[in-house]
């Protein structure tokens, strides 16, 4: 089938930063020729952190080299290490469990809810032991985890609450921004995230100024801000780039509009797909509260057939996690013998992400929805 160019729908938009090309080139020149010759953790990074801190009303925002390193820094700042257990979802991105293992602690895998695909608070609660130091729910695709219940779970058991909000910047649940429900959260700025950039980076966000200060110390080899070659603790290199800091500051004013466009596309998809549940295609729960619209994901009984059908119409799709984390060789030794995570396994078999980025035209969005509905009708 030959697809008309106007209806080719890329999953990752190739021209994501084209509108800001002149600004980016100007920033590269400005930073490169700055007499200060400060290319990491300079005044532009400080200004970027301050902007986010004020917007979120957070105690601290600490820019670092990636969302993954942000998670690791939070766990280290909480003194989690050997002998400790951290409860994480079985269906999630690998760095979630890897960051726990990197501290010497043990990840304990909890199953997910079948509707939101986020960690099930009930199952997580049953996994708490005397060794449990923290619970780390993750927001998934377009839906935030049930943070009120995880807050209560952490309070009831006296454990730490770390929020993997890497995909959820801009999400708000019950008036609380993603990242600020737990003792600390993280955002990732990798290209395809809601506030993605042309490079790697992330931040730690927290309401705890003392915890923020510990993260800030750890991200630069244990050196206090402004004091080079004075190492107070063993830290890591997780520093932020000045060019990216200036570029993200430049782009931040348009972030709400980009996020709203994603929300509108997601709402349209959900309206179109809601009647398809009895035909094997289930959209995310309809709501605007607790949504982040990083990725729009359906559950499809014939997932691979649906992906092939959409590809024939020029629509790119993506399968993020084809296996639950305990099924990977890297994490298999942390899975109890014979243990199963049936909802995570089902999500791995059925989930399919559709294009939802803000550069999609209305015609492209309608094309995606039409082809999904046509598949459901043909395979009813």
Dihedral in degrees, nearest 10, Cα atoms 112, 90, 275, 270: 100
Q: 3-state SS of 99-119? A: HHHHCCCEEEEECECCCCCCE
Closest residue by Cα to residue 179 from 141, 133, 147: 147
Give dist(CA 179, CA 5) in Å, integer. Answer: 39
193 is catalytic: yes
What DSSP letter does each residue of 244-309 carry, written as one string? HHHHHHHHGGGHHHHHHHHHHHHHHHHHHHGGGGGGTEEPPPP-STTB--S-EEEEETTHHHHHHH
DSSP 341: -
Are the beta carbons of 351 and 117 closer than 8 angstroms? yes
Distances (CA, A) of 41 to 75, 78, 238, 324: 22, 23, 10, 37
How far apart (Å, rounded) are the C-alpha atoms in residues 144 and 122? 16
Active-site annotation holder among 53, 76, 139, 193: 193
Alpha-carbon gap, residue 300 to 302, rounded angstroms:
5
Q: Give the active site residues.
A: 193
């Amino acid at each position: 089938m030959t697809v008309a160019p106007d209806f080719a729908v890329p999953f990752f938009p190739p021209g994501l930063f084209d509108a800001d090309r002149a600004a980016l080139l100007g920033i590269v020149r400005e930073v490169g020729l700055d007499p200060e010759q400060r290319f990491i953790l300079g005044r532009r990074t400080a200004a970027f952190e301050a902007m986010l801190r004020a917007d979120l009303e957070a105690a601290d925002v600490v820019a670092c080299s990636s969302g993954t390193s942000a998670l690791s820094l939070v766990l280290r700042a909480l003194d989690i290490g050997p002998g400790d257990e951290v409860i994480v979802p079985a269906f999630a991105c690998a760095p979630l469990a890897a960051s726990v293992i990197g501290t010497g602690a043990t990840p304990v895998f909890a199953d997910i809810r079948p509707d939101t695909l986020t960690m099930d608070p009930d199952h997580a609660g049953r996994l708490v032991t005397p060794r449990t130091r923290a619970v780390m729910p993750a927001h998934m695709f377009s839906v935030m985890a049930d943070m009120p219940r995880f807050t209560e779970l952490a309070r009831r058991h006296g454990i730490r609450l770390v929020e993997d909000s890497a995909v959820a910047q801009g999400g708000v649940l019950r008036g609380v921004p993603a990242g600020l429900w737990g003792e600390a959260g993280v955002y990732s700025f990798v290209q395809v995230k809601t506030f993605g950039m042309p490079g790697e980076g992330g931040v730690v966000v927290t309401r705890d100024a003392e915890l923020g200060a510990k993260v800030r110390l750890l991200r630069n080899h244990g050196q206090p801000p402004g004091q080079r070659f004075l190492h107070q603790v063993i830290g890591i290199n997780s520093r932020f780039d000045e060019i990216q800091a200036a570029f993200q500051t430049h782009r931040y004013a348009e972030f709400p509009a980009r996020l709203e466009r994603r929300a509108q596309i997601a709402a349209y998809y959900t309206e179109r797909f809601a009647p398809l549940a009895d035909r094997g295609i289930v959209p995310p729960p309809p709501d605007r509260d607790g949504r982040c619209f990083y990725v729009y994901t359906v559950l499809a009984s014939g997932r691979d057939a649906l992906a092939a059908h959409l590809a024939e119409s020029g629509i790119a799709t993506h399968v993020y996690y084809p296996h639950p984390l305990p099924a990977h060789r890297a994490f298999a030794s942390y899975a109890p013998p014979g243990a199963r995570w049936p909802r995570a396994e089902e999500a791995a078999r059925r989930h399919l992400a559709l294009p939802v980025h803000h550069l999609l035209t209305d015609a492209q969005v309608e094309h995606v929805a039409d082809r999904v509905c046509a598949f459901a009708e043909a395979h009813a």
